[in-house]
Structure 1
Amino acid sequence: MPNRLTRAALAAVVAAVLLSGSGTTLAGWNDAELREAQVVSAGELSVEPLGASTVVLRPGTSQPLPASTPLVPGDVVRLTSTVRVSAAGELLTATLGLEVTGLQGLTRSTPQVTTTLPAAGTRGWTVTPANDGASVTAVVDLTVPTTVAQHTTLDAGAIRWTLTQEMP
Protein backbone atom coordinates (compact mmCIF):
# COMPACT_ATOMS: atom_id res chain seq x y z
CA MET A 1 0.00 0.00 0.00
CA PRO A 2 1.37 3.31 -0.92
CA ASN A 3 2.50 5.50 1.84
CA ARG A 4 0.59 8.37 3.20
CA LEU A 5 2.40 11.04 1.22
CA THR A 6 1.69 9.28 -2.07
CA ARG A 7 -1.99 8.94 -1.23
CA ALA A 8 -2.23 12.63 -0.34
CA ALA A 9 -0.57 13.63 -3.62
CA LEU A 10 -2.88 11.34 -5.58
CA ALA A 11 -5.92 12.79 -3.80
CA ALA A 12 -4.76 16.34 -4.62
CA VAL A 13 -4.37 15.47 -8.32
CA VAL A 14 -7.82 13.84 -8.44
CA ALA A 15 -9.37 16.87 -6.69
CA ALA A 16 -7.69 19.27 -9.11
CA VAL A 17 -8.95 17.28 -12.10
CA LEU A 18 -12.49 17.19 -10.73
CA LEU A 19 -12.51 20.88 -9.82
CA SER A 20 -11.07 22.01 -13.15
CA GLY A 21 -13.87 20.38 -15.06
CA SER A 22 -11.54 18.72 -17.52
CA GLY A 23 -13.24 15.43 -16.87
CA THR A 24 -16.49 16.75 -18.40
CA THR A 25 -17.45 18.07 -21.80
CA LEU A 26 -17.94 21.75 -22.48
CA ALA A 27 -20.49 22.56 -25.10
CA GLY A 28 -20.77 26.18 -26.25
CA TRP A 29 -23.21 27.29 -28.90
CA ASN A 30 -23.21 30.60 -30.68
CA ASP A 31 -24.53 31.98 -33.90
CA ALA A 32 -24.12 35.19 -35.88
CA GLU A 33 -26.09 36.82 -38.61
CA LEU A 34 -24.95 39.72 -40.77
CA ARG A 35 -27.43 42.55 -41.19
CA GLU A 36 -27.01 44.70 -44.25
CA ALA A 37 -26.11 48.35 -43.71
CA GLN A 38 -29.02 50.77 -43.67
CA VAL A 39 -28.91 54.42 -44.62
CA VAL A 40 -30.34 56.84 -42.10
CA SER A 41 -30.81 60.45 -43.13
CA ALA A 42 -31.76 63.59 -41.28
CA GLY A 43 -34.02 66.37 -42.44
CA GLU A 44 -32.88 69.87 -43.26
CA LEU A 45 -33.72 73.34 -41.97
CA SER A 46 -32.22 76.54 -43.30
CA VAL A 47 -32.80 80.26 -43.56
CA GLU A 48 -31.44 81.94 -46.68
CA PRO A 49 -31.18 85.72 -46.94
CA LEU A 50 -32.86 87.05 -50.08
CA GLY A 51 -32.43 90.77 -49.54
CA ALA A 52 -31.90 93.55 -47.06
CA SER A 53 -32.12 97.29 -47.34
CA THR A 54 -31.79 100.36 -45.17
CA VAL A 55 -33.26 103.72 -46.18
CA VAL A 56 -34.01 107.01 -44.46
CA LEU A 57 -37.57 108.38 -44.52
CA ARG A 58 -37.66 112.11 -43.85
CA PRO A 59 -40.86 114.04 -43.20
CA GLY A 60 -41.54 116.35 -46.14
CA THR A 61 -39.75 114.18 -48.73
CA SER A 62 -41.59 111.89 -51.11
CA GLN A 63 -38.76 109.43 -51.82
CA PRO A 64 -36.63 107.38 -49.43
CA LEU A 65 -33.11 108.71 -48.92
CA PRO A 66 -29.96 106.53 -48.94
CA ALA A 67 -28.78 105.08 -45.64
CA SER A 68 -25.67 107.28 -45.84
CA THR A 69 -27.81 110.45 -45.46
CA PRO A 70 -26.92 112.42 -42.30
CA LEU A 71 -29.81 112.00 -39.88
CA VAL A 72 -31.84 114.70 -38.18
CA PRO A 73 -34.28 114.29 -35.30
CA GLY A 74 -37.58 112.89 -36.53
CA ASP A 75 -36.04 110.89 -39.40
CA VAL A 76 -37.09 107.26 -39.68
CA VAL A 77 -34.52 104.60 -40.53
CA ARG A 78 -36.37 101.75 -42.26
CA LEU A 79 -34.74 98.30 -42.15
CA THR A 80 -36.13 95.64 -44.47
CA SER A 81 -35.05 92.00 -44.41
CA THR A 82 -36.35 89.16 -46.58
CA VAL A 83 -35.46 85.49 -46.05
CA ARG A 84 -36.51 82.16 -47.53
CA VAL A 85 -37.00 79.10 -45.31
CA SER A 86 -36.20 75.55 -46.35
CA ALA A 87 -37.65 72.56 -44.52
CA ALA A 88 -37.35 68.93 -45.62
CA GLY A 89 -37.92 65.79 -43.55
CA GLU A 90 -40.46 63.52 -41.93
CA LEU A 91 -42.44 64.97 -39.00
CA LEU A 92 -40.32 68.12 -39.17
CA THR A 93 -41.67 71.22 -37.44
CA ALA A 94 -39.72 74.37 -36.66
CA THR A 95 -40.27 77.90 -35.47
CA LEU A 96 -38.95 80.87 -37.41
CA GLY A 97 -38.17 83.69 -35.01
CA LEU A 98 -37.44 87.37 -35.48
CA GLU A 99 -35.13 89.14 -33.03
CA VAL A 100 -34.81 92.91 -33.05
CA THR A 101 -33.21 93.36 -29.63
CA GLY A 102 -29.94 94.36 -31.31
CA LEU A 103 -31.57 97.59 -32.51
CA GLN A 104 -30.28 100.12 -29.99
CA GLY A 105 -30.27 103.90 -29.61
CA LEU A 106 -33.35 104.58 -31.72
CA THR A 107 -37.06 104.36 -30.97
CA ARG A 108 -38.21 101.06 -32.47
CA SER A 109 -41.61 100.38 -33.98
CA THR A 110 -43.30 97.00 -33.87
CA PRO A 111 -41.93 94.98 -36.79
CA GLN A 112 -44.33 94.56 -39.70
CA VAL A 113 -43.98 91.06 -41.14
CA THR A 114 -45.33 89.80 -44.45
CA THR A 115 -45.53 86.02 -44.86
CA THR A 116 -47.82 83.10 -45.64
CA LEU A 117 -46.46 81.12 -42.67
CA PRO A 118 -48.86 80.50 -39.75
CA ALA A 119 -48.11 82.57 -36.64
CA ALA A 120 -46.57 80.86 -33.61
CA GLY A 121 -46.75 83.47 -30.88
CA THR A 122 -45.22 86.94 -30.97
CA ARG A 123 -42.60 87.27 -33.71
CA GLY A 124 -42.65 83.55 -34.43
CA TRP A 125 -43.96 81.47 -37.33
CA THR A 126 -44.40 77.72 -37.80
CA VAL A 127 -42.38 76.07 -40.57
CA THR A 128 -43.04 72.54 -41.90
CA PRO A 129 -42.00 70.79 -45.13
CA ALA A 130 -45.28 72.08 -46.60
CA ASN A 131 -43.81 75.61 -46.25
CA ASP A 132 -40.51 74.74 -47.95
CA GLY A 133 -39.39 77.74 -50.01
CA ALA A 134 -41.70 80.27 -48.33
CA SER A 135 -40.36 83.81 -48.02
CA VAL A 136 -40.75 86.18 -45.09
CA THR A 137 -40.21 89.95 -45.12
CA ALA A 138 -39.82 92.07 -42.00
CA VAL A 139 -39.88 95.86 -41.96
CA VAL A 140 -38.75 97.74 -38.85
CA ASP A 141 -38.90 101.53 -38.55
CA LEU A 142 -36.47 103.24 -36.18
CA THR A 143 -37.16 106.87 -35.31
CA VAL A 144 -34.27 109.23 -34.53
CA PRO A 145 -35.08 110.77 -31.11
CA THR A 146 -35.34 114.54 -30.72
CA THR A 147 -32.79 114.38 -27.89
CA VAL A 148 -29.92 113.10 -30.03
CA ALA A 149 -26.82 115.32 -29.90
CA GLN A 150 -25.08 116.66 -33.00
CA HIS A 151 -22.40 114.48 -34.64
CA THR A 152 -23.62 111.41 -32.76
CA THR A 153 -23.15 108.08 -34.48
CA LEU A 154 -26.16 105.84 -34.08
CA ASP A 155 -25.89 102.11 -34.66
CA ALA A 156 -29.12 100.82 -36.15
CA GLY A 157 -28.14 97.26 -35.24
CA ALA A 158 -29.49 94.27 -37.09
CA ILE A 159 -32.50 92.08 -37.62
CA ARG A 160 -31.78 88.47 -36.70
CA TRP A 161 -33.75 85.48 -37.99
CA THR A 162 -33.60 82.12 -36.20
CA LEU A 163 -35.02 78.77 -37.29
CA THR A 164 -35.32 76.25 -34.45
CA GLN A 165 -36.56 72.68 -34.78
CA GLU A 166 -39.35 71.67 -32.41
CA MET A 167 -39.29 68.14 -31.04
CA PRO A 168 -42.37 66.08 -32.00
Structure 2
Amino acid sequence: MKNPTAPTKSNRRRVTEIVAATSLGATLLFGGSTLGGWTETETIATPATQIAAGELALNMASELWLYNGAVITEADLASTPLVPGDVLSYHGYAQIGISGDLHATLAFSTAATGTLASSAIADIEWSVAGDPTAKTVTRANDGAQVPVSWSLTMAPVGDPAYANGNEGERQTLVLDDIRVELIQVAK
Protein backbone atom coordinates (compact mmCIF):
# COMPACT_ATOMS: atom_id res chain seq x y z
CA MET A 1 0.00 0.00 0.00
CA LYS A 2 1.18 3.48 -0.83
CA ASN A 3 1.82 6.08 1.79
CA PRO A 4 -0.60 8.89 1.07
CA THR A 5 1.67 11.50 2.68
CA ALA A 6 4.84 10.49 0.80
CA PRO A 7 5.86 12.95 -1.97
CA THR A 8 5.01 11.77 -5.42
CA LYS A 9 7.11 12.14 -8.47
CA SER A 10 5.06 15.12 -9.68
CA ASN A 11 5.29 16.81 -6.28
CA ARG A 12 9.10 16.47 -6.28
CA ARG A 13 9.22 18.03 -9.72
CA ARG A 14 7.05 20.90 -8.57
CA VAL A 15 9.27 21.50 -5.51
CA THR A 16 12.36 21.51 -7.76
CA GLU A 17 10.77 24.09 -10.08
CA ILE A 18 9.82 26.33 -7.14
CA VAL A 19 13.33 26.16 -5.67
CA ALA A 20 14.88 26.92 -9.08
CA ALA A 21 12.56 29.87 -9.70
CA THR A 22 13.22 31.25 -6.21
CA SER A 23 17.00 30.93 -6.68
CA LEU A 24 16.88 32.62 -10.05
CA GLY A 25 14.76 35.46 -8.68
CA ALA A 26 17.13 35.97 -5.75
CA THR A 27 20.15 35.98 -8.07
CA LEU A 28 18.62 38.60 -10.31
CA LEU A 29 17.44 40.69 -7.39
CA PHE A 30 20.66 40.59 -5.34
CA GLY A 31 23.47 40.87 -7.84
CA GLY A 32 22.37 39.44 -11.13
CA SER A 33 23.45 41.27 -14.22
CA THR A 34 20.42 41.28 -16.43
CA LEU A 35 17.78 43.36 -14.69
CA GLY A 36 19.54 46.46 -13.59
CA GLY A 37 22.20 47.80 -11.39
CA TRP A 38 23.51 50.86 -9.82
CA THR A 39 25.48 53.40 -11.83
CA GLU A 40 27.26 56.59 -11.02
CA THR A 41 28.88 59.26 -13.16
CA GLU A 42 31.39 61.94 -12.37
CA THR A 43 32.49 64.89 -14.50
CA ILE A 44 36.23 64.85 -15.13
CA ALA A 45 38.28 67.85 -14.09
CA THR A 46 39.09 70.07 -17.07
CA PRO A 47 40.89 73.39 -17.38
CA ALA A 48 38.00 74.81 -19.41
CA THR A 49 34.53 73.74 -20.33
CA GLN A 50 35.21 74.26 -24.05
CA ILE A 51 38.35 73.69 -26.07
CA ALA A 52 38.65 75.47 -29.39
CA ALA A 53 40.02 73.79 -32.51
CA GLY A 54 42.99 75.30 -34.31
CA GLU A 55 42.71 77.18 -37.58
CA LEU A 56 44.51 78.12 -40.76
CA ALA A 57 43.67 81.49 -42.29
CA LEU A 58 44.97 83.21 -45.41
CA ASN A 59 44.26 86.74 -46.62
CA MET A 60 45.84 88.47 -49.56
CA ALA A 61 46.93 92.10 -49.09
CA SER A 62 48.65 94.87 -51.08
CA GLU A 63 47.92 93.17 -54.38
CA LEU A 64 49.39 94.72 -57.49
CA TRP A 65 49.43 93.78 -61.19
CA LEU A 66 52.21 94.93 -63.49
CA TYR A 67 52.10 94.98 -67.29
CA ASN A 68 55.58 95.34 -68.79
CA GLY A 69 56.78 96.80 -65.49
CA ALA A 70 54.01 99.41 -65.10
CA VAL A 71 51.14 99.19 -62.63
CA ILE A 72 47.87 98.23 -64.28
CA THR A 73 44.38 98.09 -62.79
CA GLU A 74 42.34 94.92 -62.99
CA ALA A 75 39.85 96.70 -65.27
CA ASP A 76 42.63 97.79 -67.66
CA LEU A 77 44.20 94.35 -67.48
CA ALA A 78 40.98 92.78 -68.76
CA SER A 79 41.00 95.03 -71.80
CA THR A 80 44.74 94.97 -72.60
CA PRO A 81 45.73 92.23 -75.04
CA LEU A 82 49.02 90.41 -74.49
CA VAL A 83 51.42 90.44 -77.44
CA PRO A 84 54.80 88.78 -78.08
CA GLY A 85 57.41 89.92 -75.56
CA ASP A 86 54.93 91.18 -72.93
CA VAL A 87 55.49 90.43 -69.25
CA LEU A 88 52.51 90.22 -66.90
CA SER A 89 53.15 89.90 -63.18
CA TYR A 90 51.32 89.83 -59.86
CA HIS A 91 52.75 90.88 -56.51
CA GLY A 92 51.07 90.69 -53.14
CA TYR A 93 51.39 89.61 -49.54
CA ALA A 94 49.87 86.49 -48.05
CA GLN A 95 48.87 87.21 -44.45
CA ILE A 96 49.18 83.97 -42.53
CA GLY A 97 46.89 83.00 -39.65
CA ILE A 98 47.80 79.86 -37.70
CA SER A 99 46.16 78.91 -34.43
CA GLY A 100 47.33 75.67 -32.81
CA ASP A 101 50.34 73.46 -33.30
CA LEU A 102 50.01 73.30 -37.09
CA HIS A 103 52.46 73.06 -39.97
CA ALA A 104 51.39 74.15 -43.44
CA THR A 105 52.78 74.94 -46.87
CA LEU A 106 52.18 78.21 -48.64
CA ALA A 107 52.36 77.97 -52.42
CA PHE A 108 50.68 78.78 -55.71
CA SER A 109 48.36 75.90 -56.53
CA THR A 110 47.72 76.32 -60.25
CA ALA A 111 48.88 78.35 -63.19
CA ALA A 112 46.64 80.41 -65.39
CA THR A 113 44.46 78.44 -67.77
CA GLY A 114 42.70 79.24 -71.01
CA THR A 115 43.18 78.70 -74.68
CA LEU A 116 46.45 80.64 -75.00
CA ALA A 117 48.90 78.21 -76.59
CA SER A 118 51.62 77.18 -74.17
CA SER A 119 54.18 77.56 -76.98
CA ALA A 120 53.41 81.31 -77.04
CA ILE A 121 54.43 81.54 -73.38
CA ALA A 122 58.18 81.77 -72.85
CA ASP A 123 58.08 81.48 -69.06
CA ILE A 124 55.79 81.26 -66.03
CA GLU A 125 57.35 81.75 -62.62
CA TRP A 126 56.06 82.08 -59.10
CA SER A 127 57.72 82.61 -55.77
CA VAL A 128 56.90 82.69 -52.10
CA ALA A 129 59.23 84.89 -50.05
CA GLY A 130 61.58 84.95 -53.05
CA ASP A 131 61.75 81.14 -53.29
CA PRO A 132 60.25 79.21 -56.23
CA THR A 133 59.24 76.34 -53.94
CA ALA A 134 56.51 76.06 -51.34
CA LYS A 135 57.27 77.67 -47.99
CA THR A 136 56.58 75.74 -44.79
CA VAL A 137 54.98 77.83 -42.05
CA THR A 138 54.10 77.14 -38.40
CA ARG A 139 52.35 79.01 -35.62
CA ALA A 140 55.55 81.05 -35.26
CA ASN A 141 54.47 82.65 -38.58
CA ASP A 142 51.02 83.63 -37.27
CA GLY A 143 50.28 87.15 -38.44
CA ALA A 144 53.24 87.26 -40.86
CA GLN A 145 52.89 88.85 -44.28
CA VAL A 146 54.77 86.72 -46.79
CA PRO A 147 55.55 88.25 -50.20
CA VAL A 148 54.22 86.22 -53.14
CA SER A 149 54.61 86.84 -56.85
CA TRP A 150 53.62 85.30 -60.17
CA SER A 151 54.76 86.28 -63.65
CA LEU A 152 54.15 85.27 -67.25
CA THR A 153 56.42 86.19 -70.13
CA MET A 154 55.14 85.92 -73.67
CA ALA A 155 57.64 84.54 -76.17
CA PRO A 156 59.42 87.47 -77.86
CA VAL A 157 59.12 88.43 -81.51
CA GLY A 158 61.26 86.12 -83.66
CA ASP A 159 60.98 83.23 -81.17
CA PRO A 160 60.61 79.78 -82.78
CA ALA A 161 57.24 79.56 -80.94
CA TYR A 162 55.79 81.68 -83.72
CA ALA A 163 57.23 79.57 -86.56
CA ASN A 164 53.72 78.39 -87.40
CA GLY A 165 52.46 81.91 -87.94
CA ASN A 166 49.93 83.37 -85.53
CA GLU A 167 50.59 81.16 -82.50
CA GLY A 168 48.51 82.39 -79.56
CA GLU A 169 46.71 85.09 -81.50
CA ARG A 170 43.14 85.86 -80.29
CA GLN A 171 43.42 83.28 -77.51
CA THR A 172 42.66 83.84 -73.85
CA LEU A 173 44.43 83.49 -70.55
CA VAL A 174 42.22 82.90 -67.47
CA LEU A 175 43.81 84.51 -64.41
CA ASP A 176 41.01 83.48 -62.02
CA ASP A 177 42.53 80.00 -61.78
CA ILE A 178 45.71 81.28 -60.12
CA ARG A 179 45.51 80.45 -56.41
CA VAL A 180 47.67 80.91 -53.36
CA GLU A 181 47.00 78.12 -50.88
CA LEU A 182 47.86 77.41 -47.29
CA ILE A 183 47.60 73.64 -46.79
CA GLN A 184 48.18 71.73 -43.57
CA VAL A 185 50.96 69.13 -43.71
CA ALA A 186 52.26 66.55 -41.26
CA LYS A 187 54.64 67.77 -38.57
Shift of the alpha carbon at 1:139?
Answer: 2.6
Matched, 1:143 2:153: yes
* Paired position in structure 1 for 2:96: 85
**1:99 corresponds to which of 84, 93, 109:** 109
Matched, 1:152 2:161: no
Deviations 1:7-52 (A, max 9, x none): 432333233323x152897146654323367321122211101143
In structure 2, do the counterparts of structure 1 residues 153 and 33 end up closer, same or farther at CA, with 3 Å as the change threshold? same
8 Å CA contact 2:123, 2:154 repeated in 1: no
* Paired position in structure 1 for 2:185: 166
Q: How does the TM-score come out when normalised to structure 2?
A: 0.64
> How many angstroms apart in 1 are the aligned matches of 2:71 and 2:43?
69
> How many angstroms apart in 1 are the aligned matches of 2:168 and 2:110?
26
Matched, 1:33 2:42: yes
In structure 2, do the counterparts of structure 1 residues 103 and 142 end up closer, same or farther at CA, with 3 Å as the change threshold? farther
In structure 2, do the counterparts of structure 1 residues 25 and 155 end up closer, same or farther at CA, with 3 Å as the change threshold? closer
Residue correspondence of structure 1 range 41-120 to structure 2 within 5 A: 41-57=52-68, 63=70, 66-67=76-77, 68-89=79-100, 91-103=101-113, 105=116, 106-114=121-129
8 Å CA contact 1:98, 1:162 repeated in 2: yes
* Paired position in structure 2 for 1:9: 14
The AA in structure 2 aligned to 1:162 is E
Shift of the alpha carbon at 1:152?
Answer: 0.5
> How many angstroms apart in 1 are the aligned matches of 2:167 and 2:28?
100
Which consecutive unaligned segments of at least 5 residues does structure 1 have? none
Q: CA RMSD in A?
A: 3.3
Larger radius of gyration: 2
> How many angstroms apart in 2 are the aligned matches of 1:75 and 1:47?
30
8 Å CA contact 1:56, 1:69 repeated in 2: no
Shift of the alpha carbon at 1:151?
Answer: 5.3
> How many angstroms apart in 2 are the aligned matches of 1:63 and 1:113?
21
Deviations 1:42-96 (A, max 9, x none): 2221110114333321xxxx8456523233221222233432111122x222211
In structure 2, do the counterparts of structure 1 residues 114 and 153 end up closer, same or farther at CA, with 3 Å as the change threshold? same
Matched, 1:22 2:26: yes
| Larger relative helix fraction | 2
The AA in structure 1 aligned to 2:90 is L
In structure 2, do the counterparts of structure 1 residues 36 and 75 end up closer, same or farther at CA, with 3 Å as the change threshold? same
The AA in structure 2 aligned to 1:164 is I
> How many angstroms apart in 2 are the aligned matches of 1:17 and 1:133?
74
